[in-house]
A and B are shown apart, each in its own frame.
Chain A
Amino acid sequence: MMFDALFGYNYTRRKLLKKTNSTVMQEFLSNPFPNKKELITNINIVSLDFETTGLDIKKDRVISIGTVNIEHLGINLESSSHQLINANKKLPESSVVIHQITDTQLTDAMSIEVALPILLKKLSGKTMLAHNAKIELGFINKMCQELYGSNFIIPVIDTQYLAQRSLERQNKISKSKELRLFNLRKSYNMPAYKAHNALMDAIATAELFLAMITKISPGNKACLRDFLS
């Protein structure tokens, strides 16, 4: 990840592709990521949100994955998906309250061994969007290491980072409360979604990003690099 900044994500991707023996990783890494100079309008983006048992990447697990694609600045709901993950671990009560996912529901869920290749296939050659992306990135990276012995790489747009950057550019100190998805959406005149699940959050993040693009790049003339973390 460190080399990313120096050599670019496609350089890292090629390095990882050479090293890995995992077919899942080979498939994921074989599609080149978009050029940073490409217009944002032409970038295919996957908005991603995980619900997890907690925020400790070492101990906690992913319990659901929500994704939706953004194509030509439109959120394509046909591409939306919500996948529950069988964590093989009893859910702590706190996360049940937040996500309203119960153990019974999880028994219908997929194992991460099946779900991760599906997710990687979706992300291959695309740009990933998430709110506070380090959580999603951290979990995917850990899972890739555990299952395929490889690191994960992808160009990332993080709406929380964009909001923070925008506040800093106006010399304002960002409070963590302001940077929450819900509050940021409110500042963009967006509806408050009641449901709190991985897919609705992925859609909510995608909508917020569309709004941010119009602010950062009113004529949609900006490039991918203007948004990358």
Chain B
Amino acid sequence: MEIELIEIRDFIALYPPFDVLDENALNTLPKKLTIRYFRKGSAFPDLTLNNRNLYIIRTGAVELRNQQEQLVDKLSEGDIFLAENVDDKTSNVIKGVCAEDTLVYLLSYEDLLLLQNEFDDFDRQFNFSVNERLRHAVELSHSADMRDLSAMKLKVSELTDRQPVIVDAVTTIQESAILMTNEYVSSILVTNNGKLVGLLTDKDIRTRCVAKGLGYNEPVSSIMSTHLETVLDKTLLSEALLLMTRNKIHHLPVMKDDEAIGILTTSDVVRHLSANPTLIATDIYKANSVDALKKISARLPELQLQLSLSSSTAKHIGEVFSSITDAITCRLLELAENLYGKAPVEYVWAAGGSQARNEQTSHSDQDNALIISDELQPEDEKYFENLSDFVCDGLDACGYIYCPGEAMASNPLWRQPLKIWVKKFTHWIHSPEPKALMLSSIFFDLRPVYGTFSLFTELQNNVLKQTKNNEFFISHMVGNALTHQPPLGFFRNFVMVQDEKHKNTLDVKHRGVVPIVDIARVIALDNGIKATNTVDRLDAAFKCNALSAEMHGNLIDALEYIGSLRIRHQAKQIRAGLDADNYLPPEELSGLEKNHLKDSFSIIKTMQYFFESRYPSARIR
């Protein structure tokens, strides 16, 4: 070691992972380095260097961004960055720009490996630093994404959904009032030769016209507010709110290129900020008509957006939405009972599918069944038909569209006395025909919602007794569960949806969520597990040793990860004013997210192989 490089050695020795190296390794390290200089604003790392290198920042600052151009990390003095091969497709896609003139020490990958091999501590420290950085990047990109979407980061234009009602300054007060009544608005804009000159509100008519005894035929210009605060369409909601509070105003014209494109009102803001499940549930129980329920359910996409902003887990969001659907169902049944009178015999309304599993989102169709007491008389059938039609029609009006497979109580086949249901299930279990199996996700995921729950319990006990350890039935169910498979590779050989509407997207529901849901159902039926929620079923399976600890943990992680991507995708769509769906465009994913998704798919694949080999006859199908 030439003592002259002591200054470089001393610098490196200060920072992890190098701080754990011994004296000798530290002394020989400077000679292995190359010094490079990056001017402020230049790309980092240097992509013209073909070798993998470890960058050690000597002075300066580098901003690292992910594929979505989000700032994920900032490097400064003493930080390290492992630059991958440019042509390595699996390399991290985090790239940077030098925020300042930056001087770096480069260590070749070969020399790095030598250090890692020779010093266990260094290896651990190094992996820790790099992993920590990656994990940090994931967390940051996650929260950055959510921050983007958070309420206060919304732009006012995203809340003003209707064109403003505009009148000319010479319009009379009465004409304006009639227009406001017809348009259901509490405020209108007043223009003169196309130029915005004022704002008229209900309050202005009350205080400046009626209270003062001013004639209705006076022009609006005589009573409008002329000291106008306006906001630009791209103003942040938080700024607009501040302006409204500071000036004690309730209406803000929203301008774009000198033209008014809307009026932001305090009630818009309140509505936006109050999408809250408890409030919604309270409103549901107060609703007195299908129309009122319909209005409440229109707030559900907003609720989903809010919940995903608050970083709720996919499981939690599923529970919230299912409980709201339960509440709407119960309210509709109460309304039906008010309309048609009390039921002649006992019954239970059972939800099927995702509602039963507590895995709904705002975008779900309805699956349900009516289990009626065996005391049912032929003359009572009309009552239950009316009741079921009322509820199914009401659910459809609220956005829970009719089940495409007709698995609804309004279908006579799904509205039966208990003994018929027992017979049906017995038939399905002993001669599992393909068509019956196709509906298994509905009728083997049933949960009582309203009525006499004991009717349901009786049916469930009977069914589970027949399915438990039933090799024949279970192997058919496994075969059915394997029909939905995760994609094998990624993106290049990714099986994308190819129909016109969803071209080049990934159906995360059928390729990620459904395979896990299907297998969890099979395990539940095989082991007599009563739970319907997928996570609960996996937990119960683990407890009764039907699932290894490893597979249990992996499946739950994979389900939550895929679920969270799905929720985020839907939040983006809702915010953009689109209908939420399950078709994820790969561009929405960062490189790291792609890697995680890939891991999740491989977990599902492993699980499917396992069940395939355990039930060989399932493969024939």
Q: Does B32 contact A (CB under 8 A)?
A: yes
| Chain A nearest Cβ from B603, distance in angstroms | 43
Residues of A within 8 A of B35 (CB): 74-75, 77, 203, 206-207, 210
Q: Does B59 contact A (CB under 8 A)?
A: yes
Q: Is the CB–CB distance between A191 and B2 below 8 Å?
A: no
Cross-chain contact of A75 among B6, B7, B32, B34 (Cβ < 8 A): B34
What are the interface flags for B4-33 relative to A under an 8 Å C-beta threshold, 1 for contact and 0 otherwise? 111110000000000000000000001111
Residues of A within 8 A of B33 (CB): 77
Q: Is the CB–CB distance between B8 and A77 below 8 Å?
A: yes
Q: Does B42 contact A (CB under 8 A)?
A: yes
Instruction: Write the chain A residue with the least CB distance to B105.
Output: A77
Grouping DSSP codes into helix (H, G, I), strand (E, B) and loop, the B interface class, with mixed when no group exceeds half, is: mixed
Interface size on B, residues (CB 8 A): 24
Q: Is the CB–CB distance between A199 and B59 below 8 Å?
A: no
Cross-chain contact of B6 among A189, A195, A207, A210 (Cβ < 8 A): A195
Q: Does A190 contact B (CB under 8 A)?
A: yes
Residues of A within 8 A of B106 (CB): 74
Report if A210-B32 is in contact (Cβ < 8 Å); known contacts: A80-B5, A190-B103: no
Q: Does A148 contact B (CB under 8 A)?
A: no
- State A210–B100 Cα separation when bound (angstroms): 15
- State A73–B35 Cα separation when bound (angstroms): 9
Q: Does B36 contact A (CB under 8 A)?
A: yes
Q: Is the CB–CB distance between A191 and B4 below 8 Å?
A: no
Q: Does B37 contact A (CB under 8 A)?
A: yes
What are the interface flags for A10-43 relative to B under an 8 Å C-beta threshold, 1 for contact and 0 otherwise? 0000000000000000000000000000000000
Task: Show 14 A/B contacts (Cβ-Cβ < 8 Å), sorted by A.
Answer: A74-B34, A77-B30, A77-B31, A77-B34, A78-B31, A78-B32, A80-B2, A80-B5, A189-B60, A195-B4, A198-B4, A200-B4, A214-B39, A215-B39
Report if A194-B2 is in contact (Cβ < 8 Å); known contacts: A77-B32, A207-B35, A211-B39: no
Instruction: Write the chain B residue with the least CB distance to A76.
Output: B34
Q: Is the CB–CB distance between B5 and A77 below 8 Å?
A: yes
Instruction: Write the chain A residue with the least CB distance to B39.
Output: A214
Residues of A within 8 A of B103 (CB): 189-191, 207
Instruction: Write the chain B residue with the least CB distance to A187.
Output: B101
- State A74–B38 Cα separation when bound (angstroms): 11
What are the interface flags for B53-67 relative to A under an 8 Å C-beta threshold, 1 for contact and 0 otherwise? 000001110000000
List residues 72-87 of chain A with CB under 8 A from any CB of chain B: 73-78, 80-82
Instruction: Write the chain B residue with the least CB distance to A73.
Output: B36
- State A200–B8 Cα separation when bound (angstroms): 10
| Chain B nearest Cβ from A81, distance in angstroms | 7
Q: Is the CB–CB distance between A199 and B5 below 8 Å?
A: yes
Residues of B within 8 A of A (CB): 2, 4-8, 30-39, 42, 58-60, 100-101, 103, 106
- State A84–B8 Cα separation when bound (angstroms): 20
Residues of B within 8 A of A207 (CB): 35, 37, 103
Instruction: Write the chain B residue with the least CB distance to A193.
Output: B7
Report if A82-B100 is in contact (Cβ < 8 Å); known contacts: A206-B35, A207-B35: no
Residues of A within 8 A of B38 (CB): 214
| Chain B nearest Cβ from A43, distance in angstroms | 16
Q: Is the CB–CB distance between B59 and A191 below 8 Å?
A: yes
Cross-chain contact of A189 among B7, B8, B101 (Cβ < 8 A): B101
Apart from A66-B4, A77-B8, A207-B103: 14 A-B pairs, beta carbons within 8 A: A73-B36, A74-B34, A74-B35, A74-B106, A75-B34, A75-B35, A77-B34, A80-B2, A194-B7, A195-B6, A195-B7, A198-B4, A199-B4, A214-B38
- State A188–B7 Cα separation when bound (angstroms): 19
Across the A-B interface, the 3 shortest Cβ-Cβ residue pairs: A214-B39, A75-B35, A210-B37
Q: Does A52 contact B (CB under 8 A)?
A: no
| Chain B nearest Cβ from A207, distance in angstroms | 6
- State A73–B34 Cα separation when bound (angstroms): 10
Q: Is the CB–CB distance between A190 and B59 below 8 Å?
A: yes
Report if A189-B59 is in contact (Cβ < 8 Å); known contacts: A74-B35, A80-B31, A215-B39: yes
List residues 185-229 of chain A with CB under 8 A from any CB of chain B: 188-191, 193-195, 197-200, 203, 206-207, 210-211, 214-215, 218
Residues of A within 8 A of B32 (CB): 77-78
List residues 111-127 of chain A with CB under 8 A from any CB of chain B: none
- State A75–B37 Cα separation when bound (angstroms): 9
Residues of B within 8 A of A206 (CB): 35
Instruction: Write the chain A residue with the least CB distance to B41.
Output: A218
- State A34–B51 Cα separation when bound (angstroms): 26
Q: Is the CB–CB distance between A214 and B37 below 8 Å?
A: yes
- State A73–B106 Cα separation when bound (angstroms): 12
- State A77–B32 Cα separation when bound (angstroms): 6
Residues of B within 8 A of A188 (CB): 101
Q: Is the CB–CB distance between A199 and B2 below 8 Å?
A: yes
Residues of B within 8 A of A200 (CB): 4, 7
Instruction: Write the chain A residue with the least CB distance to B106.
Output: A74
Q: Which interface residue of B2, B4, B101 has the most chain A CB atoms within 10 A?
A: B4
Residues of A within 8 A of B7 (CB): 193-195, 200
What are the interface flags for A61-103 relative to B under an 8 Å C-beta threshold, 1 for contact and 0 otherwise? 0000010000001111110111000000000000000000000
